[in-house]
Amino acid sequence: MSRYLSLVPLFLLLALAAYFAIGLSTDSRTVKSVLIDKPLPAFDLPKFGADGETFGSESLKGRVSLLNVFASWCITCRVEHPVLVKLTQEKRVAIYGLAWKDKPEELKAWLEELGNPYLAIADDAKGRTAIDLGVTGAPETYVIDKKGRIRFKQVGAIDDYVWRETIEPLVAHLEAEP
């Protein structure tokens, strides 16, 4: 009995390691490759701050834009936010927000405190659209082309370096497309 019992920790470790291994291989990268160059999954959500209006994937067609998944409870979003505010102030690119599992009053307080860089915010309170998008954590940012297709997915915060090296050149490239 004791002999079998002392094998338990080893099996637990192996099970855990198997999960970690799967976690490493199926991490955001595969989700990314599935959705890249595909149209943005259709959604139509309440538009934050505009009673009764909705905001959906159709509105993202016709111009190159960023769809930023964020939440007021997310610490990294707080780090990322000033960069987005600056991009909007300097009119570099159109940024839309997807508020993920957030409460309207907390969202309001957050935007009042840190500024609002978004042209419009879709309120995904239940997190259904985030699942369709394959969001793995906040913040995440999708680069959407003029035809409304996802062309790139940034996992984690956009800082100046990511903007300069990755997203800005891509946006410039997509702007040049018909």
Partner 1 sequence: MIAEVGLFSLVLAFTLAVAQATVPLYGAAVGDGRLMAFARSSAIGQLLFVAFAFGSLTAAFVVSDFSVSLVAQHSHSAKPLMYKISGVWGNHEGSMLLWVLILAIFGGAVAAFARNLPDTLVARVLAVQGMIGAGFLAFILFTSNPFARLDPAPVNGNGLNPLLQDPGLATHPPFLYLGYVGFSMAFSFAVAALIEGRVDPAWARWVRPWTLAAWAFLTMGIMLGSLWAYYELGWGGWWFWDPVENASLMPWLAGTALLHSAIVVEKRDALKRWTILLAILTFTLSLIGTFLVRSGVISSVHSFASDPARGVFILGLLVATTGGALTLYAIRAPQMKLGNLFAFASRETSLILNNVFLVVTCGAIFIGTFLPLFVQISNGDQLSVGAPVYNFFFVPLAIVLMALMAIGPLLSWKRGNIAAALFRLKVAAVAALGVAAGTLLLQAGWAAIAFAVAAWLLVGSVWVIVERMNLSGGLGAAWARAAGLPRSAWGMVVAHAGVAVCAIGIASMSVWTAETVTLLKAGQAASVAGYEVRLLSVRDEQGPNYTAKVGRFAVSIGGAQIDEMIAEKRVYPNPGSETTEAALRVRPLDVLYVTLGQGHPDGVWTVRMYHHPLVVFIWGGAVIMVLGGLLSLSDRRLRVGAPRRAAA
> In this structure, what token pair is assigned to residue 109?
């307080």
Please identify which residue in 3, 90, 91, 105 interacts with partner 1, judged by CB under 8 A.
3
Measuring CA to CA, how many Å separate 127 from each of 8, 16, 106, 134, 147? 37, 28, 16, 11, 25
Beta carbons of 56 and 42 less than 8 angstroms apart: yes
Please identify which residue in 91, 105, 161, 178 interacts with partner 1, judged by CB under 8 A.
161
Where b means 16+ CB within 10 Å and e means fewer, 32-57 reads: beebeeeebeebebbbbeeeeeebeb
C-beta of 19 vs 169, nearer to partner 1: 19
C-beta of 52 vs 91, nearer to partner 1: 91
Report the largest interatomic distance among the alpha carbons of the chain, rounded to a whole angstrom. Answer: 72
**34 lines the binding site for partner 1 (CB under 8 A):** no
**36 lines the binding site for partner 1 (CB under 8 A):** no
**17 lines the binding site for partner 1 (CB under 8 A):** yes
**58 lines the binding site for partner 1 (CB under 8 A):** no
Q: Contact residues for partner 1 (CB under 8 A)?
A: 2-3, 6-7, 9-10, 13-14, 17, 19-27, 29, 73, 75-76, 78-79, 82-83, 85, 101, 109, 112-115, 127, 130-131, 135-137, 155-156, 159-161, 164
